[in-house]
Amino acid sequence: MNTPPPLALSAQTPPSNTPATQRHQRLHRLGARILGGFALLHLLNHLAALRGVAAHQQVLEVLRWFYRHPWVEPLLLLCVLAQVASGSRAAWAAWRAPGRLGTVERIQVLSGLVLGSFLSIHASAVLAGRWLQGLDTNFHFAAAGLHIAPFGWFFAPYYFAGVSALGIHLACALWWRLAHRPAAQRRRAAWAVALAGMACAAVLVALLAGWVVPVQVPAAYRASFGV
């Protein structure tokens, strides 16, 4: 993992960056902090299902009180848009200069692309479920696809890839942030975050699939898959 500082998303700005690129980097980091804070609570909310779907629902209702606030939700959705846009711009810059990318930068760009694709589909699906289908977008909404063949073949890798990409992308950010630390320490910290993300992804998929606690998907959610 010993590579030069990243091209477009580094913690320290490379000297070749234009003011416009630096503005996008700052925007990307600000959005990452807001969205990262939400994602942490959101994933903990899903892990609460380890105590049963009812426990997940209780935590969801408390969190919704905050993130569905009319001042908070538009900001959150704006962050999703800004992250996808500024991340795509950084990926485009990296694509045009692939020879200059080191291993960590490549992993950062790839995981960012997976995360951005996941986020775009995920946020659109949730809003469509709520506003167009009139569904309560709760645990059963997320789990339904894993309980109806053959959709599980899409939804299991989809959730696993989305949450793993988040862990790996954060691990890359941490790698640059710890630039002043000994290489072994940096490597350990980055691997720990990446592996924690992948482990969390595996547990969440198992929970949604009903392998850990019982999950009974109500008819209204099955109907949205035509069953």
**Alpha-helical segments (H) within the chain:** 19-47, 53-67, 72-96, 103-131, 139-143, 152-177, 183-208, 219-223
Task: Give the residue with the Cβ less far from ligand HEM, 68 or 100.
Answer: 68
- The torsion angles phi and psi of 144, rounded to 5 degrees, stand at -50, -50
Q: How far is the CB of 114 from ligand HEM (least distance, A)?
A: 11
Q: How far is the CB of 128 from ligand HEM (least distance, A)?
A: 11
Q: How far is the CB of 58 from ligand HEM (least distance, A)?
A: 13
Task: Give the residue with the Cβ less far from ligand HEM, 101 or 144.
Answer: 144
Residues that bind ligand HEM (CB under 6 A): 35, 39, 42, 46, 60, 64, 67, 73, 76-77, 80, 119, 122-123, 126, 137, 141-142, 159, 162-163, 166, 204, 208
Task: Give the residue with the Cβ less far from ligand HEM, 141 or 176.
Answer: 141
Backbone angle region of 181, left / alpha / beta, with phi > 0 → left and psi within -120 to 50 → alpha: beta
Task: Give the residue with the Cβ less far from ligand HEM, 1 or 198.
Answer: 198
Q: Give the position of tokens 């949450």.
A: 163
Q: How far is the CB of 92 from ligand HEM (least distance, A)?
A: 21
Backbone angle region of 75, left / alpha / beta, with phi > 0 → left and psi within -120 to 50 → alpha: alpha
Task: Give the residue with the Cβ less far from ligand HEM, 5 or 73.
Answer: 73
The residues near 221 (Cβ < 8 Å, ≥ 6 apart) are: 135, 140, 141, 143, 144
Distance CA 158, CA 119 (A): 11
Does residue 163 contact residue 197 with C-beta atoms inside 8 Å?
yes
Distance CA 148, CA 8 (A): 41
Task: Give the residue with the Cβ less far from ligand HEM, 3 or 57.
Answer: 57
Q: How far is the CB of 15 from ligand HEM (least distance, A)?
A: 31
Residue nearest to ligand HEM (CB): 137
Q: How far is the CB of 99 from ligand HEM (least distance, A)?
A: 30
